[in-house]
Structure 1
């Protein structure tokens, strides 16, 4: 989990000087940040200069918690030390903001793909042509070509990421397990890939999800119903965050395949009419 405060200076020269000196304070920043929590562990401190401002990204591990609030408190304490240290007069910091919008909290951004924020996970599957026809009602080749059509359309439309509807699964499991639902904005980014083997007619499928901001302790995970959902999936407790991420990715790839097959077999509209409307056909 990350937080990215911004420090303001009178000129780019001072911003550059601050950025160059920042690595010298890494140990002190670690001590200050980690003093606020038993679980937050500061891993990296990275600076980015924009004009006379320096955005500093603090990256943490947070144990079993998602950690959004945890890292906010830890980063505030670290930055308070930086602003009050005996070197503060030399640093010439003019202003400070705890979040400068460079950690993509609750919003889609390329930063959440380049530098994962939360649990990074990949799921994959191999479909035989026989199973595809029996269960999904289409051939693997048809499924593959349908995916290519959606992929090309997404590129033409400037789609952020490449998937069919991973947000459905992410939103549903986030609500059921007490996650911060606003995190769907960053967590639903996914890269869905199909690779067709023309010899065996099998279809290799993978789904990469770089930033699932999830936890299995703390926050909404402690509510009775949400705790029950976590227990059903054997994801309750501090050591289950990666397992929960894997389950989300597994359900997401299953929905990707199912929805893609509905389009490939021309039953997408029919299924909505038959299953989701009061006046069923």
Structure 2
């Protein structure tokens, strides 16, 4: 069998910022590495970063965190599946004893379920320390399945993943329940600063957010999503920090909200599916380790704190790019003019 040599696929990378970040997780000004072929993104995020430094900062709040794996089990009929489920939901402590055998950091915190005919879909939800947790939760689920089948012989195995997780797919369940870190970033920008640095007004940004992000996404059939380009910032941040880049699929689900408050602009980005980790697969590359260290996400802290810090930085970065693009699109021709100038 032929083995293929592992080579590198270089992607242009540049540090952008500093971004002024405040909130419960961190209060710092720091530059953020972004790896992308869409080089105007650096300038767009950079404009948002400069604005943040002229305000009190971007407040970032980690609302919740959980990584999911949905297992699929089968019974002879619906009553048998329901009976097993009613018992299982009362045995979280027993299940966590099994989970503890798979990892020092994984902990089962909740379950959600769907019964379809004779099929039982169990959405197992774990905390995973500083890892994003894909492999950790799959390993935990792999250990749980034999225990469940022993305790409930009316059930049989169907799949380690039943798509109710949902991994790397845009689904309503992720937007509702969250997958990864649920993070909100917020900023308040004075009218004068909007006009001077963003070349727009608070009213124009609010109006465009309603008509483009909310109504436009709705008529397009968007799923739990109302934003302009979360995926751009997420991909660049994920590649620079060694994340599983395919997770931008669920990560790009999220809502932009904007208001005029006493003449100023309140602008926020909600990201319920931000999947990042500071340890684990993909983190061993030299440039990734350097980037994570520069972001202060390789420090000796309590388990989970480095990953929460990384998520907060990522959410602030998303806000910078989202704000800049929406501001640009309030002005005819500005977006294309910038791309022509920077790419050609």
Determine if the TM-score, normalized by the shorter chain, exceeds 0.5: yes
- Give yes or no for contact 1:64–1:215 (8 Å, CA) kept in 2: yes
* Structure 1 segment 97-176 matched on structure 2, within 5 A: 97-150=159-212, 151-160=214-223, 161-176=225-240
SS in 2 for 1:121: strand
Are the counterparts in 2 of residues 9 and 95 from structure 1 also a CA contact under 8 Å? no
Output the TM-score relative to the length of structure 1.
0.92
The answer to whether the 8 A contact 1:127-1:203 is kept is yes
CA–CA distance in structure 1, aligned partners of residues 209 and 147 of structure 2: 52
2:314 alignment partner in structure 1: 248
Structure 1 unaligned segments of length 5 or more: list them: none
Corresponding residue for residue 342 of structure 2? 275
Corresponding residue of 2:3: none
Deviation at 1:63, TM superposition (A): 0.5
Question: How far apart are residue 244 of structure 1 and its match?
Answer: 0.9
Matched, 1:65 2:65: no
Structure 1 position 96 matched with structure 2 position 163: no
Does structure 1 retain, via aligned residues, the 8 Å contact 2:191–2:264?
yes
Greater shift, 232-241 or 4-13, is seen at 232-241
Q: Cα RMSD between the aligned structures?
A: 1.4
Query: Is the alpha carbon distance of 1:157 and 1:23 closer, same or farther for their aligned partners in structure 2, counting shifts above 3 Å?
Result: closer
> What's the offset of the Cα at 1:42?
1.3
Flag the structure with higher strand content.
Answer: 2
Could you say which residue in structure 2 is the equivalent of 1:76? Answer: 142
- For residues 4-42 of structure 1, what are the alpha-carbon distances to aligned partners after superposition, in whole Å with 9 as ceiling and x for unaligned? 101111111211121122135433221111211111111
Cα deviation, 1:127-146, whole Å, max 9, x if unaligned, reads: 11110111011222222222
Number of residue-to-residue matches in the alignment: 271
1:192 aligned residue: 256
Contact in 2 for aligned 1:7/1:95 (Cα 8 Å): yes
Equivalent in the alignment of 2:241? 177
Which ranges of 4 or more aligned residues in structure 1 deviate by more than 4 Å?
none
More helix by share: 1
Rounded to whole Å, the distance in 1 between the matches of 2:239 and 2:162 is 27
